[in-house]
Amino acid sequence: MSLINETHDINLTSWVSCANDASTDFPIQNLPFAVFRRKDSNEEFRGGVAIGSQVLDLNVVANANIFTGLAQEAVVAANAAALNEFMGMGIEYWSALRLALSKALRAGSEHQATLETSLVSQADIEFSMPCHIGDYTDFYTSIYHATAVGSLFRPDNPLLPNYKWVPIGYHGRASSIDVSGQEFHRPKGQTKAPDAEVPSFGPAKRIDYELEMGIYLGKGNELGDAISIKNAEDHVFGFCVFNDWSARDLQAWEYQPLGPFLAKNFASTVSPWIVTTEALAPYRTAWTRDENDPQPLEYLDSEENRKQGSFDVTMDVQIETAKMRKEGVEASKVSQSSFKHSYWTVAQMVTHHTVNGCNFIPGDMLGSGTQSGPEHIEAGSMLELSRGGKEAITLNNGEQRKFLEDGDKVIMRGWCEKSGFARIGFGSVEGTLLPAK
């Protein structure tokens, strides 16, 4: 597991002065990765690192040859249109580059004059997907979400008996995942009203968001080999905030017996920055399992996982309607939760996914599943907030929603705060629902 080291020191400051603002998502203690280029340019997309309101251009860093050894090899690999090669190099390379970047960006660094020309304002860039996602698996790790949704779909049996024994997941569609700013049309498909004899076809009426964490895999494993829980996180490069859009009326008709299909594969959106597992070390927290619940089987349990297997990442959701944009009204916050509420940890997800010999490749992604907390206001979906569409949610301009309407933009954010450490954030992920084609 990634442990706290000198890169997390709260006393570190940067010669990039905007990174020293206590409210920034991207202080020197964070240093997340993305793929970017200047807006409206013909530049090649390449790797970048967030520092305050700026991006450190890794093309300049790689060509400057100011690093040595593993760090220089890593920055050359990260200077690419996709970060897969860098992600596949493994934890030693990730950590070496993070330390080198931290030292180069600290106040008083000998490399300041060289790197000042490599900064680009985040206001002047556009993002690409940070890596090629070969495969994507969506989990179901919030017991609060699983129970709430189960009670809507199966009132007599809301939580299926396998939930407390095995991390539940399904294979999702990687090709429709896009970076923040994604716009997509309301999907079409089959639905069936409770009082209808036959299903009907047309645009989905119950479009929803799902507040999730995205988990990027780094160094993979060979087909047939399992990853043990003791070194599972050595294979986890980092995290993003993830919106897994859902068509609830399509889902209700199609999900039995094989699970999600058209209700989920039309769009998913990731925040552009990947916050590394190492950066999140200070915000780890103990993972517990209620003594009255089944305890994990041996392959899913370890002392390290119980001590610090969870991550305390605060996440919130805002809705900006077309009317709000037209009138200049701020987006309305509708809920807030935390990743620490997960019933299963990242290490358990990785371990279970590979216990049968399934192979990961660099850039594969796991979705955490909707992250809902124990209180209703901590619900990570409109399905829960509206109690299945029975209660309207009132936004700050007086508009009401049970599910999303055309023109609605959903904005999700994530951040970590802990006494004795700098606040770090993930930035935001934004996506907009357009009318059906």
pLDDT tens digits along 351-394: 999 999 999 999 999 999 999 999 999 999 999 999 999 999 99
Position 305 scores a pLDDT of 97
Q: Is 210 annotated as a binding residue?
A: yes
The residue from 8, 111, 145, 235 that is catalytic is 145
Per-residue pLDDT at 2 exceeds 60: no
Per-residue pLDDT at 313 exceeds 60: yes
Domains plus CATH for the chain?
6-128 (2.30.30.230), 136-434 (3.90.850.10)
Q: Is 251 annotated as a binding residue?
A: yes
Q: Is 268 annotated as a binding residue?
A: yes
Q: Is 318 annotated as a binding residue?
A: no
Q: Is 244 annotated as a binding residue?
A: yes
Q: Is 124 annotated as a binding residue?
A: no
Residue 375 structure tokens: 């209180």
Least confidently predicted of 208-212, 254-258, 304-308, 357-361: 254-258
HSE-CB for 378 with a 13 A CA cutoff: 16
Per-residue pLDDT at 259 exceeds 80: yes
Q: Is 212 annotated as a binding residue?
A: yes
Mean pLDDT value across residues 7-33: 98
- Catalytic residue at 145? yes
Q: Is 154 annotated as a binding residue?
A: yes
Q: Is 423 annotated as a binding residue?
A: no
Position 155 scores a pLDDT of 84
Q: Is 283 annotated as a binding residue?
A: no
For residue 217, name the pLDDT band (cuts at 50, 70, 90). Answer: very high
Per-residue pLDDT at 1 exceeds 60: no
pLDDT per residue over 147-172, tens digit each?
999 888 788 888 989 999 999 999 99
Per-residue pLDDT at 436 exceeds 90: yes
Percent of the chain with pLDDT over 90: 95
